Every structure is written in structure tokens, then in C-alpha cells.
């Protein structure tokens, strides 16, 4: 079960100079793939489907619930940035700054929500729950979460650089800090679960079932020898998971030419596609 | 620029006992969020947008191109699994196995593609490029890729366990091996780029801009003290990134109650919502 | 079967001062969730799936057909607003009003439709038929329709306030009037069907099957007593449907802690998630 | 801010006879348009964007938070229904009931989530936040909510009729009861806000701006007189909102034939489409 | 403006042996990309955005309106095929044919529409209006339409082969016939507009602006000479449009290696990606 | 299998005057329905599912692979057009040209990709693989491809007219030329396959199964005789496919009124909808 605090915000949300363009950009932090609806639902669905040690389920529940509060903060920030947004063509007709604002804002903020946030990204795409990555494998989930928080922090950093509004900068300082923590949190959990030993994920599948010629080789797919393969930590030496040795080889097809033969006469094809 | 090899397959694709249900499941590996279209486009878009050291761009190009060959293999496998699929109600009316097959297959394989693969997942959802995660930050991208290959290998493992077809098991042994390599490859690159020092991503933002009270604290959001916070690597000790010390605290709202006041008379609200 | 009138418009569509920004906003009334494609298909699918008294099917057919004419009017209005839209970077480079127009218009109007309307909303999202709400329950459908017309009228009102074009204002006066009628129409049908007696929808399910402790109680989910529950018509007195008495209580979990146990060894999990 | 209760469930969730087909059907109550993610986010976004009297915001927050607990219950129910689901083709090959189960379940439950719930509907469509209807107009929102709870209760009723599992029937008795309450709650709020006087929504727009010939007339769009107009509460008498009198008339086009003229030579058209 | 005929169907819709599996398949003809909603809206949006000779607009209006009647027929057919569909787990538990039906039907037909059609395809994907192809170029549109009717007829043919229901076969004989006509109609219009002379579309762009080395050459992208280029009507001789001569050559990159340099310090990248 | 050329571009990609508005427009050529991801995947999926004569599969593979190189070029062009894009509100606050740019660009280019291309269209909609039309019928596929290249060339032409950047005009000259070739190529293949004899597609279905009264008649759906039917190549004379004679007639309903009767008591309807 879940509870609320009567709308009290986790951290301060003040807007000194409302700007509908910034409201549009902030939407990415609500409904974007790097946004708070995503991590909220992702952590909660991971928790709700969690099997095995209870502590990961518990931790996911803690942070999933925190993210609800972040959506709330950002929704408030969007609404406040929309105060005084231009709604009338006539006024904007000869004022280039106002017309640029009218053209640049998410016009749905004006015509469909009475100046409130929507669960959409900065391009106006509604958030779609296929981005709620919950695999049932706890190590894979920790990586998904670390990745989500990495791009989430990138987004918050860009928004911080974009705005010169004091209140918004303060709010973003808070959100960036939480992203730092959460990024650390998921990687720490990944480490606790085994770090390198987590890999290859899933680690409950016997690797002897894999084809051994292919599982630690970096295959190049360059057209010819004039393109030397890029070298790095991945091209030689002990593999990251410590279970193999990296090699580099050019890839060559071994599977023969694909051939599906003729079409069945039951299929709606052209005459020439059927067996003659 | 890109080249093909006349349809020669990277590895063998044989189907001994065609099964339309398995064809439906295999679609997840083509058009699912764990599938090959996703990683193919993800690595290529990361390459095409790559700035900084050229070797990462080059490596992404190598593996992105390899993934094209995986889509080709899987598309072939789907088509071969559809040979002989039931198309006629009448025959299935009284044969429960056939009727279960007709009901369980992706019926679009029969009625819209003349028995060929589609760029959709196992539920028939078309792949949607919002899952092509390309952030422009090379460390974040390596994590995205490691995560994609982790869930990709999970999927291949489940498909391997599901089927008893010798040819399909052989193909999956190959794909699982490549997922092992790619998972290692991206984590090795993450390590080469700095490992822990990559974090917090992005690492070119000065952390003194963050609110220091919030960036290494695990906040619990439990309703009351009867729920003890889950402890682990993330709750105390030096943080994963080595730049802070983990603490645990209960979260409390500090932002006051959100209040948007009255609505503008320009908004299409009810009379009571406007300023009295 | 359906018929047309050779493209004759239901009401006048004149544009005095074409404006591509207004064309973008008008798209919401075509392809938005409040728009005409939605209500057209919604009423028609409700009609086509209607069971029971024929008059509701007949009425739905009448108004669903009318909405086709509204799409036609709006598509014409969009096309007329695009006359003379800026297409060339060079001209806009130093003219801020023209550049704001070029940036603010739906650029697809210029580059993909040769200046014509699209079945998308004001953010450019294509209309998606999951918004065609047709439940098969006539009372639920009347509410869906009243709701659709309410937000539809809100949208038309905002567009009316936005524009100062005489022709557009005239067209919107017509559309707002029709939304008034349709809102009344669906609520009148809801009333005729029983009004309060329609509820709880569906009303053909015996309420003694419900848990009687929970069906007329407003549960608060506030964290603690410091947040008093909001009171109103819903918190005490006879319920809206007349079948119960409203109470207010704090919600408490009675279901125990969710626990899914360990994962199956058949699942692609990490080793620690399986039964030890 | 929001809080959790350590995973304690709002009501009992027991499954006596796990059934993957029922798990698939239950998904509709999680990620369907009638489902709990929808109402949860809908009530919360309405709250977060609420302007005017605070009590509606407060009430929305209460119930939005409750809905989180419903998602949690249903996600648990899905996972429990997946225990023992068939994963292997071989076993299902000759067992028609098992094969029907394998074909009929959401195969992603087996191959992508390790037997856990997803934020998708019964057809496997991910929930998409365009269904979060939050208009900023409190009366329109109350109707949206009543409609959502009406179809939500219909769904719960169908699931109740579908299952013969004692635990699931108990859980659904609870959910149906809550839907009864919530349906009453939103209609009660609609009544408190004015009932008939809310209409036409928005009620802060002067109706004298509407075209008076069109706002209380039921227009028929039948091809000819052989189809008599359906009569009812909407066709004559005082209108539902009490602000007009219903009439019935055949609709005729008054707008003339739409004509966009010739295409601009700047558009990528065929030669004959340009002005000769 | 548009009119209806009181629900009278364009052609007979009878179902002798209702089958929910066939209802699911029929949905493709309603909400699939080959379906009737698509062509209906496509022809109407093309009409509404048509510029140039009025006859094409008029013709599009005729046939777009006809397609409405096809949706109506198919929606009726789906509803009739759902009569008696299994709704109860218990009954299906030990009856493999019934369980296969329950698993194989679109379960939403049972739990969300009270046994009626939805605007979705056979996989349950809602129709999405991005498939309404209306380019503004009349020749391109005629090709789009011919293509839509080609896959539409393919679908109707597969459905015809699938069913052994006499009533459904009769209805499909009608729909297949109409697809034959419409396919012919659009190709006839393409011919009237110029046939080969329509190409390259758009034909109002001066071809001397194209790079002449590239516009009539079939470039092969084979990795090496071991893959001979496929030859045919496209590889030599006068081009289809009569404006060039086909050649065949191997493609080679002439654009040099793509290089985006270093990242801006304003971007949220890793330290190594910025200029050293 | 597939290969790359180390990132060497198929043709020159230079940008003289970066413009974020043009970057947004260029996205349509990457991720729009007329764009290169679409044709790339479309041709490849058609190849991978191809049955019958091998030459069409081989040809599709050639050109599908070429399209990969076009995505690469366009992704590079987008990134180069984003150099120097405005990121800071403060600077834009009083500079109308900069503010128009900030409002008009795809703001995700600034805040989510570090100034790189995305697989989205000019409205920011992610490409969705339902647009990968691969029917399994080679003639239908050739029409689909010709249509895709027609709208693709229209788009490239509009972009060419829009820009005055010398480098971009040069790149577009190349792409327009390739679209000319590809349009010719698919129509040439359609011709080789039979031209008129391909129709009606599929041509392996016996036309005597069609209803002969309906397959070569242009039916008008005008409300009354005051709208004369549009005449043309489609209204009289030998049909395009040479297999019939065009006629023109008014359409009349022959199917009687649709009637679904009463609802099942198992359905969640209102009481009045059930059999009295």
C-alpha cells in the first residue's frame, strides 16, 4: 500500500521567471525515456515481480516510491512555468519574442490542459510503458536502473545549464544529487550481487551450452582489410567476466545462403512465386 | 557505407520441426525490446552520433553491423518455423492440437505476410525506435548496451529452454555465445573508460553544483518505523564511485504544499476555479 | 451504408489571415484525443457493437455521421491556414516573425503533405484508435461521450480565444454550439437510461457479490493524521446512486506482505534468486 | 511526497489454481485503458495540475494514491497465476490442454519477465499515457473519472465471471466494491460542483458566443426520409443543462463546396496540380 | 457532409458458425494496415487536401465514403462471430477445443467490449493514423492507394481461404470484388495522370538538379565480386520513366569518413569526449 | 551477413551554415514514414521473407543495404546542422532569432542526445516498424516500394527547396537522384513481373470466386443525383488489368439493417440491454 503527504513537496519548487519553453523541456524529465514516470514504474514493477532475496524488492520499493515525489515536483514546476504563457495570436502577431514563445511552447499546454503538466516528453510523445524494463533478473535490472539514472542525470544537467532561473536551478541541484545517489545505489547493488561474477547475465545458465568459438571473440565486420579493427580492453586479455580470453577475428558467414524456396499455393502470392 | 554477402547467413539456421508457436516466440528476438533490431540501430545511431575518441565509434560500427546479420538469421528462422502452419478453420475445428496452434500462433504470420517474419515482438507489437538509446555520452551508452545484451541473452536462454528442435538449439547456442561476448565487450569498454570513475554520469559536470545533503544518502520512504530500511552495499561505506560516503535517512518533505492558486479566466475551466 | 454530399461543407469555413501556427493548433481538433476523428469513430463503433434497444444505436449513427463532416471542415480550415506558409530558410534567416513561424508550425505540413491537414494532434502525434472507447455498455458509453464532448468543447473554446480571424471565429462558434448540443445529448440519454440508477455501472451485476465494507467508503491514504481528509458530497450522506451511505475511513493494509518466493530454475535469473 | 507500507497489500491476494490465461486477462486491469495505471496517473496528474478550490486536489491525491495499491495487488495476482506455467514445447506437443495454455498465455510472461506482471493490457499493448485524461477543468475531469471507473468495474465484473478461483474471486469482490465507491465518488463531486449546471462544460464561456441555431438541435444525418430520427430525452423538451430546448431537424450543408484551388509551385506535386 | 442509411448494410453479413478465432482474424480487415479504417481515412484525407483538378478529389470522396460501409460490415461480422464465445475458465478447463478457443481469441472481445468489434488489428494493435498516407501529390497517392488495395485483397483472400462459413465466404466474395475494382481504379487514375510520365514523382521538379551520375544506375552493394548483381528490367535498357538508361555498377563510398570531432563542453558527455 | 566500410560515407555530407531547424526537418528523412529507416528495413524484410524466384530477393538485399548508407549520411547531416545550436535560455531571452531557433528546433537534440540524430521524424515521433510493409507478394511489394520512393523523393525535393546551404543542396542532389533510380527500379520490376497482368493482386486467386457484379464497377456514394459521378479512365472502357469492363453505378444497400439483438446476460451491460 501507498500513502501521500497531502501534497507536500519533497524539495522546494519555485519559479522566478516563468518560461513556457522551459516547461516544454522539463516535460522530458516527466514523460521522457529518461524521466521520472519511467523510473517510478520501473522500480515498482521490478519490486512487484521480484523473486529471491527480499532486500532487493524492499530497496526497489523505497526508491520507486521516492520517484513519485519527483514526478510531483516536476509537474508543479511545469505548471508554474506556464503562468502567463501567450494564448492569443493577435498579441503575438507583431512581437517576435512572443511569437517565438507561442510557436516554441508545447501548444497543448495552452489548449488542452489549462496550463498544466502532461505525461509526455519534450516532443509531446506520451510516455509508453514499454520503457518500464523489468526483466525478473536482479542483476540485469540493476544495470537497467543505473543506465536510466545515468541518462536521467544527463538530462537534469542539460536542463540546469539551459535555465538561468534561480528557483529552477535550486530544484535541479536537488534532482541531480538524487540521480547521483541512485546511480551509485544501483551499481552498488550490482556489485553486491557479484559485480563481474554477475556476467554473463543470466549467470544460472551453463556456459558449456554456448558455442565456445564465439563467446569471447570480437568479430570485425569490416568490408576489407583496409579498415583495421578498433582495439581496446575488449579485444584481448582476460574477459570482463573473468571467464574467458578476448580474441579478435574477422567474421565470415558459415551458414550458407538463406533460401525459403517456393511459396505455398495457399498463400496470396503471385503466380511465379509458386512452385512451377 | 554498408555491404552484404548475398544472403549468406552468419551461422546455420535449420529447423527440424517447424512450429508456429515458436515462430511467435522468436519474434521477440527480432522486434522485442531485447531484440536484434534494437541493438542494431542502437549501436549504429550511437556510432553515427559519436563525438570524442574515434575507437568507440569504430567499435560500435563493427558490432552494429554484426547485429544486422542476426536479424537476418532470426527472420529466416521464423519463416522456416512457419512451414506448414495451419490456415484453415475447418481442419482445426475438431483437432485440438491444430486448433491450439491456430489460436496460439501470431495469426498475422498467416494472413498478412505469407508466412514470413515481421519487425514485431512476441505480442505482435511493432518495434518502435524510442528504444534506440543513444545518449551521446559514451559511458551511459556502454551501460545501455550491456543492459540490452543482458536481457537479450536472457531471452535467448529462455528460447533455448523452450525448444527441443535440434537446429534451433544450435542457432541459439551461437546467439547466446555472441550475447556473452557483447555483454563483456560493453562492460570492458565501460571499464576502459574509467569504470567507477565514469560515475556519476556525466562526469564532466562539477559535483559541487549538486546539493551535498542529498547525493550519497539512501532515503527511505516507508510510511513509518515499522518497516526497517533494507541495508546493503548502498546503505553505508564509501560510495560506488568513490566520491562520497553512503548514509541512510528517512525522507521528509521540505518543499511545502504545492499550490497553483486559481485558474486564469483565459482557461476553459469551471466558474469556481477562477479567482472569486 | 454512408453517403456524401460532393464535398459540401456542413458550415462555412473561411480563413481571412492564414496562420500556420493556428493550423498546428487546429490539428488537435482533428487528431487529438478531444478531436473529431475520435468522436466520429467512437460513436460509430458504439453503434456497430450496440445490443439492446435500437434507438441508441440509431442515435449514435446519426451523430457519428455528423462528426465526419466536422473532420472535413477542420481539414479544410487547416489547409486554408497553410496558404503562404514559409518554406525557405533563406527568407526566414533574418526575419524573426517568419523564423518564429517556420519554427513554430508543424513542419510536416510543409515537407510531407503539400500544405494539407494530417490525422495528427497539435504535437504531431498520429491519432491512435485506442481512444475509441466503446464498451458495449450503453450507460458507460454515454458518459464516455459526454466526457469527450466536454473536453472537445474546452478545446474549441481555447481555439476561439486564441484566434482573431473572423472566419475561424465563425466556424468555431458553430463547432462550440454543436459540442453544447452533443454534451447535452449524451447526458440526456444517460438520464433517460436511468440517471443515478445506471450506477454502479454495470447495473446488471448483483451488488451483494461486492465486499460490503468497501463499496461506499471514502478511504484516505494520507500518511498520518496531520492531513485531514477532504470532505464533500462524497464523504457522507446517501451515495450518488442511492444504494448506500458514504463513510470516510483511513485505509489500512489487510493483505499481508506480498511474497513471490524464489524463482524457478527454469527462469533466466541470477543464481541467488533460485531456491538455495 | 509519497510513502509505502513495505509491500503490505491493501487486500488479500491468493491464487488457488494458477492459470496463465487468467494472468493474461488480468493484465487488462493493470495496463488496459480501464486499468489501474491509468486511473492512478490520471487522478494524480489531475491533482498536480489542479487550480481553484483545494479540496478537489486533495481528494484526487487520496484516491490516486489508493490506485497504486491496486496495481500492486494485481501485479502480485498476475505473478501468482504464472506459477508453473508451461515453458517447454516438447511437453506441450501432444498435450492439447498444455498446448492451448502455451499458445493462449502472454508468451512474454514466460520469455521476457521470468513470470511477472508487465505494464501492458490483455493484448500485450504497453500502457500509453495519452490515456491519462487531465483537462484542467474539474467538472470534465470528474466525468472522465466516472467513465474510467465504469469501464473499470465492467472489466472487474467480467474477470469475476470468468474465474472460478476462490482467491481471485475474493480479490475481485474487493476491487469491484472499490470501483462502486469511486464511481459514486466522482459523480458525487460532479453533483457538488453543480450537476446540470456544470454544463455545457466549460461553463465559464459565454453561450451567447455560440451560434444559437445549432446548440440545442439534434440534427439527423440520414440519407433520406425513409429513416425516421430516433427520439428520446435528447430530441425535445428542456435540455439536460436547462439552458435550452431540444429540437430535431435534418442537417443540410450550408458551407458550400470545399475548394483548395491549385497547388503552389513550391509544393512537390504533379504538373497538372499547379495553376495552368 | 455525410449521411447514413439507418444502418443498412452495403452487402449481406451472415454468420452460420460463429468462431471467435475468425473474429480475431477479421479484425485485421478493420484495424490492420491493410484494413478499411485505413483506406477510408486515407481516401478522405487525400480528398480533403486535394489541390488541382477537382475530379480526383471527387473520386476520392466517393470511394472513401464507400469504405465506411465496409468497416460497418466487418464490425457486424466480428460481433456475429463472437456469439457464444467462451467466457468461463471452468468450462474450458478440461475441454481442449474450448480452451484453445479461449486462449486463441482476442480476449478483449470478451472482457472489454461485451462481444463487439474494436478498431484494432488481428494482434490487438489499435489502428494508428500514421498509416493514413496522404502526400498531396496525386500520382503518389494513387500508388499508395493501389498498394493498400493490393494488400487489402491479399488479406481478404487469406480470410476467404481460412473460413468454411458460408455467410462469411459470401461477404468476402463481395469485398474481394470491391478490392479488385479499387485496385484497378487507382491504377487507371495513375495511368490517366500520365502513367510512366508521372515518374519520377514529383514530376514538377527539374531533373537537371539531380546528380546525373546516380539517377539511372543500379548500384550493387555486395561485399565482393563473388556475388553477381541480379539482372532484370531494372539493370539495363531504357528506364521505366523513359527519361534515362539503366546501368549497373558497384557502389563505392565517395564521401570520406564521417567525423563529428569532439563534443561541446556544454554537452553532458564524459571528460574524454571533450577537446583535450 | 553484412559489412561496413569504416564509416566512409556513400556521398559527401558537408554543412556550411548549421541550422537546428533544418536538422529537425532532416529527421523526417531518417525516421519519417518516407524516410530511410523505413525503406532499409522494408527492403530487407521483403528480401528475408522472399519466396519464389531468387533474383527479387537478391535485388532487395542490394538496395536495402544501400539504404543503410543513406541513414548514415543523414544522421551525419543532422549532427553537423546542430553545431552551435542555442542551449541557454538567458542568451535567447532577448534575441528573437535565437529564441525562434530554440523554440523551433527539436529540443531533444539539445537535451537528450548531445547534439546528434535520433530515429524519429520531424515531429519527434519515433519510427515505428508497422510501416515496414512486407506482404510476401512480390508485386504488392514492388508497388509499396515505388510508393515509398515517391514520397521519399517528394520529401527530398521539399528539403532541397527549403535549404540554401550549398553542402546540403549537394547531398540532396545525390539523394534525389537515388530516389529517381529506386522509383524506376521498383516500377521496372513490377513491369517485368507482368505489369497490368499482376493485377488484381494477388493474381493466384481465381476471379470466378469474386462476385462478378461488383468487381469492375465504380460505385458512387453521393447522397443524391445532384452530385454527378466523376468520370475518367476508371469509369468506363476496358479495366486497367484488361480483365473486365469498367461501369459506373450508384451504390445501394442490399444487406438489410444490421441487428445484433440483445446482449448476453454474461456481458457487463445495463439491465435494459438484456433480453426482457
Three-class HEC string of chain C: CEEECCCECCCCCCCCCCCHHHHHHHHHHHHCCCCHHHHHHHHHHHHHCCCCCHHHHHHHHHHHHHHHHHHHHHHHHHHHHCCCCCCCHHHHCCCHHHHHHHHHCCHHHHHCCCCCCCCECCCCCECEHHHCCCCCCHHHHHHHHHHHHHHHHHHHHHHHHHCCCHHHHHHHHHHHHHHHHHHHHHHHHHHHCCHHHHCCCCCCCCHHHCCCCCCCEEEECECCCCCCCCCCCCCCEECCCCCCEEEEEECCCCCCECCCCCECCCCCCCHHHECC
DSSP H helical segments within chain B, as ranges?
A: 20-31, 36-48, 54-81, 89-92, 96-104, 107-111, 138-162, 166-192
Grid cell listed for F222: 453521393
CA angle F158, F121, E241 (to 5 degrees): 40
CB contact under 8 A, C161 and B223: no
Q: For chain B, which chains pass the contact test of at least 3 CB pairs under 8 Å? A: A, C, D, E, F
Residue E209, CB-side half-sphere exposure with 13 Å CA sphere: 19
Within 8 A of C271 by CB-CB distance, chain A residues are 203-204
Question: 554473463: which residue's cell?
Answer: A200
CB contact under 8 A, E45 and C116: yes
Separation in Å, CA of B109 to nearest CA in chain A: 11
How far is it, in rounded angstroms, from Cα E224 to Cα D135? 60
Annotated binding site of F: 36, 58, 67, 70, 149, 182
Instruction: Please name the member of F153, F223, F266 whose beta carbon is closest to the beta carbon of D223.
Output: F223
Return the residue of F nearest to B46 by Cα. F116
pLDDT of residue A226: 85
> B90 pLDDT exceeds 90?
no
Return the residue of D nearest to E203 by Cα. D270
Instruction: Please name the member of E2, E6, E129 whose beta carbon is closest to the beta carbon of C127.
Output: E129
Q: Find the radius of gyration of the CA atoms of chain D.
A: 26
Annotated binding site of B: 36, 58, 67, 70, 149, 182
How far is it, in rounded angstroms, from Cα E60 to Cα F229? 11
Instruction: Please name the member of D122, D155, D269 whose beta carbon is closest to the beta carbon of E204.
Output: D269
CB contact under 8 A, A177 and B11: no
pLDDT digits (tens, 9 = 90+) for A166-201: 999 999 999 999 999 999 999 999 999 999 999 999
How far is it, in rounded angstroms, from Cα D41 to Cα A24? 19
Separation in Å, CA of D6 to nearest CA in chain E: 32
- How buried is residue A134: exposed, middle or buried, by Cβ count under 10 Å (0-12/13-18/19+)? buried
Grid cell listed for A180: 547521483
Selected residue of B175, B253, B268 to mutate for chain C interface (largest C Cβ count, 10 A): B268
For residue D167, give the H/E element and its range: helix D166-192
pLDDT of residue A124: 98
Question: B41 phi and psi, to 5 degrees?
Answer: -70, -35
Within 8 A of C193 by CB-CB distance, chain F residues are 270, 272
Phi-psi region of B272 (alpha: psi -120 to 50; beta: other; left: phi over 0): alpha
* C-beta of residue C261 within 8 angstroms of C-beta of residue C232: no
Sheet of F237-238, strands arranged across = F217-220, F245-250, F237-238
CB contact under 8 A, D268 and F223: no
Spatial CA neighbour of B150 closest among C71, A52, A137? A137
D162 in contact with chain C, both atoms CB, cutoff 8 A: no
Selected residue of C10, C45, C174, C205 to mutate for chain E interface (largest E Cβ count, 10 A): C45
Within 8 A of E126 by CB-CB distance, chain D residues are 125
pLDDT digits (tens, 9 = 90+) for E206-236: 999 999 999 999 999 999 988 889 999 999 9
Grid cell listed for D119: 505494464
Question: How would residue D276 be classed by pLDDT, with cut points 50, 70 and 90?
Answer: confident
Instruction: Please name the member of E13, E179, E264 whose beta carbon is closest to the beta carbon of F200.
Output: E179
pLDDT digits (tens, 9 = 90+) for D188-198: 999 999 999 99
Instruction: Please name the member of C125, C162, C221 whose beta carbon is closest to the beta carbon of A89.
Output: C162
C209 is in an annotated binding site: no
B242 in contact with chain F, both atoms CB, cutoff 8 A: no
DSSP H helical segments within F112-262, as ranges?
A: 138-162, 166-192
pLDDT of residue F269: 96
CB contact under 8 A, E201 and F183: yes
Within 8 A of B132 by CB-CB distance, chain A residues are none
pLDDT of residue A139: 98
How far is it, in rounded angstroms, from Cα F199 to Cα F178? 27
CB contact under 8 A, B263 and D52: yes
What share of chain B in percent tops pLDDT 90? 94
ipTM value of the model? 0.96
Beta-bridge mates of residue D245: D238
Instruction: Please name the member of C154, C266, C268 whose beta carbon is closest to the beta carbon of B268.
Output: C154
C90 is in an annotated binding site: no
> F92 pLDDT exceeds 90?
no
Task: Enumerate residues 6+ apart whose C-beta is below 8 A from F195.
Answer: none
**Residues 6-35, chain B, touching C (beta carbon < 8 A):** none
Q: Is the pTM higher than 0.90? A: yes
Within 8 A of A193 by CB-CB distance, chain C residues are 270, 272
Spatial CA neighbour of C179 closest among D251, D200, D231, D144? D200
Spatial CA neighbour of A244 closest among A216, A263, A220? A216
* C-beta of residue E23 within 8 angstroms of C-beta of residue E150: no
Question: How would residue F196 be classed by pLDDT, with cut points 50, 70 and 90?
Answer: very high
> A160 pLDDT exceeds 90?
yes
* Secondary structure class of F204 (helix, strand, coil): coil
CB contact under 8 A, B115 and F136: yes
> B87 pLDDT exceeds 90?
no
Selected residue of D226, D266, D268, D269 to mutate for chain F interface (largest F Cβ count, 10 A): D268
Other C-beta atoms closer than 10 Å to the C-beta of D231 total: 13
> B89 pLDDT exceeds 90?
no
pLDDT of residue A5: 94
CB contact under 8 A, E136 and D270: no
* C-beta of residue D73 within 8 angstroms of C-beta of residue E73: no
* C-beta of residue A168 within 8 angstroms of C-beta of residue A74: no
Separation in Å, CA of A195 to nearest CA in chain C: 12
Within 8 A of F140 by CB-CB distance, chain E residues are 147, 150-151, 154
- What chain E holds in terms of domains, given with CATH numbers, is 20-197 (1.20.1260.10), 206-253 (no CATH)
Separation in Å, CA of B104 to nearest CA in chain D: 4
* C-beta of residue C187 within 8 angstroms of C-beta of residue D199: yes
B93 in contact with chain D, both atoms CB, cutoff 8 A: no
CB contact under 8 A, B269 and D202: yes
CB contact under 8 A, E268 and A157: yes
CB contact under 8 A, C268 and B223: no
> A132 pLDDT exceeds 90?
yes
Greatest Cα pair distance in chain E: 77
Grid cell listed for F9: 560515407
Spatial CA neighbour of F123 closest among F41, F31, F37, F38? F31
pLDDT digits (tens, 9 = 90+) for F113-146: 999 999 999 999 999 999 999 999 999 999 999 9
Grid cell listed for C193: 437510461
How far is it, in rounded angstroms, from Cα F17 to Cα F32? 24
How far is it, in rounded angstroms, from Cα F199 to Cα F193? 11
* C-beta of residue F235 within 8 angstroms of C-beta of residue F204: no
Instruction: Please name the member of C158, C223, C268 whose beta carbon is closest to the beta carbon of B268.
Output: C158
In this prediction, residues A54-66 reach a mean pLDDT of: 97
CB contact under 8 A, F111 and A25: yes
Average pLDDT of the residues of chain B: 96
pLDDT of residue B276: 84
Within 8 A of F89 by CB-CB distance, chain A residues are 19, 21-22, 162-165
Grid cell listed for E142: 494513387
* C-beta of residue F66 within 8 angstroms of C-beta of residue F182: no
Q: How large is the angle between the packed helices C138-162 and C166-192, nearest 10 degrees?
A: 160
pLDDT of residue E273: 96
How far is Cα of residue D195 from the mean position of the Cα atoms in its chain? Answer: 22
CA angle C201, C203, C207 (to 5 degrees): 100
Spatial CA neighbour of B37 closest among B66, B14, B67? B67
How far is it, in rounded angstroms, from Cα B244 to Cα C29? 52
* C-beta of residue D225 within 8 angstroms of C-beta of residue D219: no
Other C-beta atoms closer than 10 Å to the C-beta of F243 total: 17
Q: Say if strands E245-250 and E217-220 run parallel, antiparallel, or are unpaired.
A: parallel
How far is it, in rounded angstroms, from Cα A110 to Cα A103? 11
Question: B25 phi and psi, to 5 degrees?
Answer: -65, -40
> D89 pLDDT exceeds 90?
no
CB contact under 8 A, A184 and B80: no
Average pLDDT of the residues of chain F: 96
Q: For chain C, which chains pass the contact test of at least 3 CB pairs under 8 Å? A: A, B, D, E, F
Question: 521498383: which residue's cell?
Answer: F186
For chain C, residues with pLDDT lower than 70 are: none
B45 in contact with chain F, both atoms CB, cutoff 8 A: yes
Return the residue of C nearest to F102 by Cα. C103
CA angle F37, A224, F74 (to 5 degrees): 25
pLDDT of residue A90: 87
F46 in contact with chain A, both atoms CB, cutoff 8 A: no
A4 in contact with chain B, both atoms CB, cutoff 8 A: no
Question: How would residue E163 be classed by pLDDT, with cut points 50, 70 and 90?
Answer: very high
pLDDT of residue A135: 98
Q: For chain A, which chains pass the contact test of at least 3 CB pairs under 8 Å? A: B, C, D, E, F
pLDDT of residue A149: 98
DSSP for residue E250:
E
Q: How large is the angle between the packed helices D96-104 and E96-104, nearest 10 degrees?
A: 10
> E92 pLDDT exceeds 90?
no
How far is it, in rounded angstroms, from Cα A239 to Cα A197? 11
Separation in Å, CA of C114 to nearest CA in chain E: 5
CB contact under 8 A, F88 and A162: yes
Amino acid at each position: 500500500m501507498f500513502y501521500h503527504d497531502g501534497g507536500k513537496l519533497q524539495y522546494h519548487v519555485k519559479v522566478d521567471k516563468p518560461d513556457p519553453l522551459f516547461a516544454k523541456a522539463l516535460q522530458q524529465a516527466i514523460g521522457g525515456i529518461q524521466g521520472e514516470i519511467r523510473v517510478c514504474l520501473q522500480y515498482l514493477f521490478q519490486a512487484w515481480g521480484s523473486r529471491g532475496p527480499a532486500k532487493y524488492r524492499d530497496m526497489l520499493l523505497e526508491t520507486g516510491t521516492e520517484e513519485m515525489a519527483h514526478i510531483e515536483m516536476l509537474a508543479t514546476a511545469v505548471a508554474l512555468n506556464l503562468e502567463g504563457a501567450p494564448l492569443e495570436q493577435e498579441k503575438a502577431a507583431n512581437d517576435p519574442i512572443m511569437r517565438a514563445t507561442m510557436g516554441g511552447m508545447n501548444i497543448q499546454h495552452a489548449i488542452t490542459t489549462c496550463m498544466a503538466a502532461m505525461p509526455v516528453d519534450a516532443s509531446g510523445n506520451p510516455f509508453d510503458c514499454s520503457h518500464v524494463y523489468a526483466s525478473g533478473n536482479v542483476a540485469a535490472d540493476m544495470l537497467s536502473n543505473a543506465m536510466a539514472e545515468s541518462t536521467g542525470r544527463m538530462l537534469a544537467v542539460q536542463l540546469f545549464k539551459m535555465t538561468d532561473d534561480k528557483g529552477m536551478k535550486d530544484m535541479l541541484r536537488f534532482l541531480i544529487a538524487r540521480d547521483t545517489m541512485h546511480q551509485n545505489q544501483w551499481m552498488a547493488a550490482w556489485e553486491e550481487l557479484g559485480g563481474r561474477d554477475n556476467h554473463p547475465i543470466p549467470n544460472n545458465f551453463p556456459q558449456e551450452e554456448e558455442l565456445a568459438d564465439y563467446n569471447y571473440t570480437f568479430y570485425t565486420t569490416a568490408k576489407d582489410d583496409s579498415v583495421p579493427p578498433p582495439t581496446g580492453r575488449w579485444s584481448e586479455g582476460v574477459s570482463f567476466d573473468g571467464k574467458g580470453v578476448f580474441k579478435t577475428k574477422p567474421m565470415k558467414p558459415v551458414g550458407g545462403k538463406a533460401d525459403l524456396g517456393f511459396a505455398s499455393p495457399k498463400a496470396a502470392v503471385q503466380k511465379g512465386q509458386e512452385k512451377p
